[in-house]
């Protein structure tokens, strides 16, 4: 038995392209990530970074190879099981996973906990959600809807939402993409702190070399091929 949180073996993604030419998006991607490890993926636009995260989140099926997350093989799961898997095992910080506009910051974070365990009392959910908002420095904004928060504040609520259930794995796609450098650095150090505290492994995609430098391990994606950068 391996204790890896992520185990990707020979993952390929080939999609039907124009004029019947198949398009190789991911080519034989293999890597593992241990508990609490932070991995950063860099690489040019269109190289397959988001596609890899989608597969690891069970939001897209690979056309070859296998993915195990926290000991579970994703191939054996139907859509319902994958949805449960995501709620229990994953924190997801993608740019298209927006906050619910009609809900306050507190309600957005609480929703993760309510979905994970609908039998919990509101008092215990509220306490934990507030603590998560406090950890990202936003307890004073708990009652605000997303439209009344700045971009960086929304990103921090998203981070609180992704981390509140202390998942074994956080997948983050350009978590600082829309933020100024200072706010971005703040969100990242929060993310790393929360992960260290909870033993959460992180795989993050970034175009920011300074952010990649802070990770435990660095991977480069090029034309669908993932290689680990081993420091000399």
Choice between 55 and 110, CB closer to ligand ATP: 55
CA dihedral 45, 214, 190, 166 (to 10 degrees): 80
- Binding flag, residue 176, ligand ATP (CB under 6 A): no
**Contact between 223 and ligand ATP (CB under 6 A)?**
no
Q: Which does 46 bind (CB under 5 to 8 A by kind): ligand ATP, Mg ion, none?
A: ligand ATP
In the list ligand ATP, Mg ion, none, the entry touching 48 (Cβ below 5 to 8 angstroms by class) is ligand ATP
Stretch that binds ligand ATP, among 32-40, 46-54, 104-112, 157-165 (CB under 6 A): 46-54
Report the partner that residue 155 touches, choosing among ligand ATP, Mg ion, none (CB closer than 5 to 8 A by kind): none
Nearest by Cα to 189 from 171, 208, 215: 215
Q: Does 45 engage in binding with ligand ATP (CB under 6 A)?
A: yes
Burial class for 144, CB neighbours closer than 10 Å (0-12, 13-18, 19+) = middle
Tell me the C-alpha to C-alpha distance, in Å, between residue 55 and each of 8, 148, 229. Answer: 10, 33, 22
**Between 50 and 154, CB nearer to ligand ATP:** 50
β-partners of residue 217 are 39
Q: Which two tokens stand for residue 13?
A: 């993604």
Q: How much of the chain is helix, strand and coil, in % rounded to 5?
A: 40, 25, 35
Binding partner of residue 15 among ligand ATP, Mg ion, none, CB cut-off 5 to 8 Å per kind: ligand ATP
Residue 101: count of CB within 10 angstroms of its CB: 9
- The interaxial angle of helices 105-116 and 79-89, nearest 10 deg, is 120
Q: Name the binder of 51 from ligand ATP, Mg ion, none, CB < 5-8 A by kind.
A: ligand ATP
Per CB under 6 A, which region of 47-55, 74-82, 99-107, 145-153 contacts ligand ATP?
47-55
Question: Applying CB under 6 A, does 62 fall inside the site for ligand ATP?
Answer: no
Task: Note whether 49 binds ligand ATP by CB under 6 A.
Answer: yes
| Selected binder of ligand ATP within 48, 146, 168, 184 (CB under 6 A) | 48
The one segment of 49-57, 62-70, 85-93, 156-164 that binds ligand ATP by CB under 6 A: 49-57
Start-end of H helices in 71-219: 79-89, 105-116, 122-135, 151-163, 181-198, 209-213
15 part of the interface to ligand ATP, by CB under 6 A: yes
Residues of the shown chain interacting with Mg ion in the complex, contacts defined by CB under 5 A = 50
């Amino acid at each position: 038995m391996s204790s890896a949180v992520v185990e990707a073996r020979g993952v390929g993604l080939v999609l039907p392209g124009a004029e019947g030419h198949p398009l190789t998006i991911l080519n034989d991607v293999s890597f593992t990530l241990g508990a609490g490890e932070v991995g950063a993926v860099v690489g040019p636009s269109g190289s397959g970074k988001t596609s890899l995260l989608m597969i690891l989140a069970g939001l897209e099926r690979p056309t070859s190879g296998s993915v195990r997350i926290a000991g579970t093989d994703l191939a054996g799961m139907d859509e319902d099981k994958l949805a449960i898997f995501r709620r229990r095992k994953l924190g997801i910080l993608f740019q298209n996973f927006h906050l619910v506009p009609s809900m306050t910051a507190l309600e957005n974070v609480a929703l993760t906990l309510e979905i994970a365990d609908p039998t919990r009392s509101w008092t215990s959910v509220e306490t934990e959600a507030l603590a998560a908002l406090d950890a990202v420095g936003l307890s004073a904004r708990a009652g605000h809807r997303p439209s009344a928060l700045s971009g960086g504040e929304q990103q921090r609520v998203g981070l609180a939402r992704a981390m509140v259930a202390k998942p074994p794995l956080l997948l983050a796609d350009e978590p600082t993409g829309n933020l100024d450098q200072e706010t971005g650095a703040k969100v990242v150090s929060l993310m790393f702190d929360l992960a260290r505290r909870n033993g959460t492994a992180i795989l993050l995609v970034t175009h920011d070399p300074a952010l990649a430098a802070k990770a435990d391990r660095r991977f480069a994606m090029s034309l669908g091929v993932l290689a680990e950068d081993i420091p000399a």
